[in-house]
Amino acid sequence: MKIYNLKEVYNREFVDWLLNNIPELNTYQKQKIRDINYNQDSDFYIFKKKDKTSNVFYRLTILFFPIVYLLIVLSLPINFIFSGRWGYKYEKLEWFSKWSRKLNL
């Protein structure tokens, strides 16, 4: 993992994550976790992945996404007539899945 794709997690965010992901904690333990300031009391630095933001031009293409999706779905019968298979191979629509991932859909 590349270090520039990470950002430091602050104390409040880390405490919320601990409390949400460890359901076995009793109220005393939860209160102790809330009271400790992890950023100052330890030498550990906690990081998480940065949220990826897509390019402005990719975000503008979301207007065409439903049209392209509809064309793909409507061309399924034509694909069935020529190939005998209902559906597309992943390699054929790999560009579409990459596009939807860049749009965070």
Entry pTM: 0.51
Question: CB neighbours (10 Å) of residue 54?
Answer: 13
Quick one: 43 and 60 in the same domain? Answer: no
Q: What is the predicted pLDDT for the residue at 75?
A: 93
Quick one: 71 and 94 in the same domain? Answer: yes
DSSP classification of residue 37: -
Q: What is the predicted pLDDT for the residue at 77?
A: 93
Q: What is the predicted pLDDT for the residue at 78?
A: 92
Quick one: 60 and 28 in the same domain? Answer: no
pLDDT by 10-residue block (mean), the chain, 105 residues: 72 83 88 76 74 76 93 92 87 88 80
Q: What is the predicted pLDDT for the residue at 68?
A: 94
Q: Residue 69: left (phi > 0), alpha (psi -120 to 50), or beta?
A: alpha
Quick one: 33 and 71 in the same domain? Answer: no
Quick one: 67 and 90 in the same domain? Answer: yes
Quick one: 44 and 75 in the same domain? Answer: no
Quick one: 40 and 60 in the same domain? Answer: no
Q: What is the predicted pLDDT for the residue at 44?
A: 73
Nearest to 38 by CA among 8, 11, 7: 11
Quick one: 7 and 33 in the same domain? Answer: yes
Domain residues for the domain of 92 are 56-102
Q: What is the predicted pLDDT for the residue at 2?
A: 65
What's the total number of domains in the chain?
2
Residue at token pair 């899945």: 97
Cα(73)–Cα(10) distance, integer angstroms: 45
Is residue 33 within 8 Å of residue 19, measured between CB atoms?
yes
